[in-house]
Chains A and B, each alone.
Chain A
Amino acid sequence: MITEHTESPEPYGAPVSRAGAGSKIELQTVTKIFGDGPMAKLVVEECSFTLEPGQVTVMVGPSGCGKSCIAFLIAGYERPTKGKIVLDGKAVGGPSWDRLVVFQESALLPWLTTYENIMFGPKARGFNKKEAQDRATGLLERVGLRDFRDKYPPQLSGGMQRRAELARALINDPKVMILDEPFRGLDHMTRGLMQEYCGTLFEEASRTTLFITTDIDEAIFLADRLLIMSSLPTRVHDVIEVDLPRPRVRQEVLLDPHANQIKERALGILHEEALKAFAGGSKASADFIDAYMKRREGPEA
């Protein structure tokens, strides 16, 4: 079933699954410079790529804030210094429900329960309360947190927090989901489970998704396409199609020879880029970028 997407008013009860349709995001020679004058830092340099409709695109690259920066640019928290970001033909503006981010560390509001966190978006946008409640309950069930709806975030384990955040994003039915290293810091076991979980979710929804990670196995398991990124300043180094059949089982993918070929190819590039990042990137510049992205003023409304 294909549904139309308009900016407003938004048909709230629109079905989640949109096989074949979906939104397309294009980055057109995007450049981003943090700070100015002598402290200016070139973080993204003439980066161009497309997030194909309905596909999961995974961005892999050495750590350093280039990938997160791109996520922030797509989400609208930062504006490109040069170049354009286009969603379905229109230039992207400030933060909006149609491009939702799941951050690296939990951004669940600690003073709200799981249920209240999930309901935050619909409440803020003034949606029909009953519909939203039903939807929230459904999502809680879907992510396996029904018994934890009245708990506060610190009472949830890392994996549960991530699932809660997914539910919180999904209830708003965004056109594009951006997940920025969402499993970072989780222990091995939880991480594996979350990967499988997300894999299923993505397969069900066919939503345009950008997933960022440094774990190549994770990337190959989830991706329809891989974007191999360079070290700072960030650009797309390579694009690799991951044409493994779906649905995918994690253990099988780990041992699959075709997946292994992709991994070999990707590792070669990544290793080189990681070495450059390791040797060249000083802590001072990484700290600067980090501090810049954490500063308090939000985007100019």
Chain B
Amino acid sequence: MKRKMAGGSALLRGIIGTALFIGLWQVGTSLDSWTGVSLPIVAQLPPPSSVLDAFLPLIRSHGFWSSAYLSFVRVFWGFMAAMVIGIPFGLLMAVNRTAKAICFPVFEILRPIPPLAWVPAAIIFWPAPELSITFVTFLGAFFTVVINTVGGAEQIDRRFLLAAQSMGADKRTIFRRVLLPATLPSIATGAVVGMGITWQVVVAAEMISGGGQGATTGGGGGLGFLIWNSYLGGAIPKVVVGMIVLGVLGYASSTIVRIMSTKLMPWNRAI
């Protein structure tokens, strides 16, 4: 009963907070037309009202949705590749000392390179612009997933392994029934964080690379491209709309990943 109330009041507070934010935004941007006093930075922003005006036609335009879809597809494939390649790679390094000795140094050298710095190289080396952008997105999530996987596997309580060994489990059984489940929470963390990173990377990659496919065919080029293009064209309210939509999509996808990982760990739910 208490928890329900807390949830309800949290929602209420969230709504009030958001409304307050929008209210202040409106006031800040309209201040100079009301009173002649103009605030330094805030005045330059488009007011919520104009953002709303730009919102509706955009929603109805085909180009907008194909942009959103493009960005989503790039994020999806980049993320999936990062998981499919990253998790086994991380696990391999965690269980096999030789593999770690060989691969980890190279991995650690490449990791600090910002994914965006890869864009020129990606454009050169990948045959299609789509692949370049997806590759950069992949990199964004890949390093996070691997680091979390390796870290998680290495921090397992040693006594779990000892107990399993004592009970006669061989190496394969230990991997399957002890190491994997014990590492799942860390992998899940890596996935959620990685998902967030993919959205950030894809937007910037689109801006830099000129939108990949679709930019030239009028298909939109992705939300990042849309934002950049709108900026160049002076349609600032569109920029804000793009930002808002990105925020919503990013939040939604992180939530989906989080929900899925919770499903994989029923023992956590039991608490």
CB-defined contacts of B171 to chain A, threshold 8 Å: 301
On chain B, the residues within 8 Å of A172 by CB distance are: 167-168
As a 0/1 sequence over residues 128 to 166 of chain B, the CB contacts with chain A under 8 angstroms (1 = contact) are: 000000000000000000000000001011111111111
User: Are A75 and B169 also in contact (CB < 8 A) when A109-B181, A296-B156 are?
Assistant: no
B159 and A124 within 8 A (CB): no
Q: What residue of chain B has the Cβ atom nearest to residue A105's Cβ?
A: B159
- Whether B162 contacts A101 by the Cβ 8 Å rule is yes
Q: In the assembled complex, which residues on chain B have CB atoms less than 8 Å from the CB atom of A299?
A: 165
Q: In the complex, which of the residues B158, B160, B166 contacts A101, with contact meaning CB atoms closer than 8 Å?
A: B166
A94 x B165 contact (CB < 8 A): yes
**In the complex, which residues 163-196 of chain B have their Cβ closer than 8 Å to any Cβ of chain A?**
163-171, 173, 177-178, 181-182, 184
Q: Inside 8 A of B113's CB, which chain A residues have their CB?
A: none
Q: Choose among A96, A152, A295 the residue that contacts B166 (Cβ–Cβ < 8 A).
A: A96
Residue of A nearest to B163 (CB): A107
Do A107 and B160 have beta carbons less than 8 Å apart? Answer: yes
A76→B215 CA distance, assembly (Å):
65
The distance in angstroms between the C-alpha atoms of A133 and B160, with both chains bound, is 22
Q: Which of B160, B167, B265, B270 contacts A121 (CB 8 A)?
A: B167
CB-CB contacts below 8 Å: A72-88 with B: 75-77
In residues 223-271 of chain B, which contact A (Cβ within 8 Å)? 265, 267, 270-271
Whether the Cβ atoms of A100 and B181 lie closer than 8 Å is: no
- Residues in B whose Cβ lies below 8 Å from that of A294: 158
A48 CB to nearest B CB, Å: 24
In the bound complex, do residue A111 and residue B265 qualify as a contact, i.e. CB atoms below 8 Å apart? yes
Enumerate chain A residues within 8 angstroms of B162, measured Cβ to Cβ.
75, 77, 95, 101, 103, 107, 298
Q: Are A95 and B267 in contact (CB under 8 A)?
A: no
Interface residues of A in 110-150 (CB under 8 A from B): 110-112, 120-121, 124-125
Q: In the complex the two chains form, what is the Cα distance from A91 to B157 in whole Å? A: 28
Interface of A is mostly: loop
Q: How many residues of A contact B (CB 8 A)?
A: 34
CB distance from A117 to the nearest CB of B (A): 9
Q: How far is the CB of B167 from chain A (nearest CB, A)?
A: 4
Pairwise interchain contact A124-B163, C-beta atoms closer than 8 A: no
Bound Cα distance from A154 to B267, whole angstroms:
9
B166 and A296 contact, CB distance less than 8 A: no
| Chain B CB within 8 A of A162 CB | no
A120–B160 touching, CB < 8 Å: no
Q: Which residue from chain B places its CB closest to the CB of A98 in the assembled complex? A: B166
Contact B168 A96 (CB under 8 A): yes
**Residues of chain B contacted by A151 (CB below 8 angstroms):** 270
Q: Write the chain B residue with the least CB distance to A94.
A: B165
A155 on interface, CB distance cutoff 8 Å: yes
Asked whether any CB of chain B lies closer than 8 Å to the CB of A97, the reply is: yes
Q: Is A32 an interface residue (CB 8 A)?
A: no
Question: Is A207 at the interface (CB under 8 A from chain B)?
Answer: no
The one of A77, A105, A120 in contact with B177, judged by C-beta atoms closer than 8 angstroms, is A120
Interchain CA distance A112-B161 in the complex, whole Å: 14
CB-CB < 8 A to B166: which residues of A? 75-76, 95-97, 99-101
What is the CA–CA distance of A112 and B163 in the complex, to the nearest angstrom? 14
**A residues near B168, Cβ cutoff 8 Å:** 96-97, 121, 124-125, 172
Q: Is the CB of B173 within 8 A of A124?
A: yes
**Interchain CA distance A149-B25 in the complex, whole Å:** 56
Partner of B167, one of A94, A100, A112, A298: A100
Which residues of B have CB within 8 Å of A101? 162-163, 166
**Chain A residue contacts of B157, Cβ below 8 A:** 107
With contacts A109-B178, A152-B270, A155-B270 taken as known, whether A95 is within 8 angstroms of B165 at the C-beta atoms is: yes
Nearest-neighbor residue (CB-CB) of A174 within chain B: B166
- Minimum Cβ distance to chain A for residue B35 (Å): 59
**Closest beta carbon of chain B to A72's beta carbon, Å:** 8
Query: Contacts A111-B265, A151-B270, A152-B270 given: A124-B158 contact, CB under 8 Å?
Result: no
A76 to B167, CA, bound (A): 12
Whether the pair A120, B158 counts as a contact (CB closer than 8 A) is: no
Instruction: Determine how close the nearest CB of chain A comes to the CB of B183; give it in whole angstroms.
Output: 11
Query: Which B residue's beta carbon lies closest to that of A97?
Result: B168
**Chain A, 165-181, contact with B by CB distance < 8 Å: what is the 0/1 string?**
00010001000000000
The 9 closest A-B pairs by CB, nearest first: A121-B167, A124-B169, A111-B181, A95-B165, A107-B159, A125-B168, A95-B166, A152-B270, A152-B267
Q: Taking beta carbons and an 8 Å cutoff, which residues of B are in contact with A? A: 154, 156-171, 173, 177-178, 181-182, 184, 265, 267, 270-271
Jot down 28 A-B pairs with beta carbons below 8 A, ordered by A. A75-B166, A77-B165, A96-B166, A97-B166, A97-B168, A101-B166, A103-B162, A103-B163, A107-B160, A109-B160, A109-B164, A109-B182, A110-B267, A111-B181, A111-B182, A112-B267, A121-B168, A124-B167, A124-B169, A124-B177, A125-B167, A152-B267, A155-B271, A293-B158, A296-B154, A296-B158, A298-B161, A299-B165
**Additional 6 contacts, C-beta under 8 A, given A120-B169, A298-B158, A298-B161:** A101-B163, A103-B163, A107-B157, A107-B162, A125-B167, A172-B167
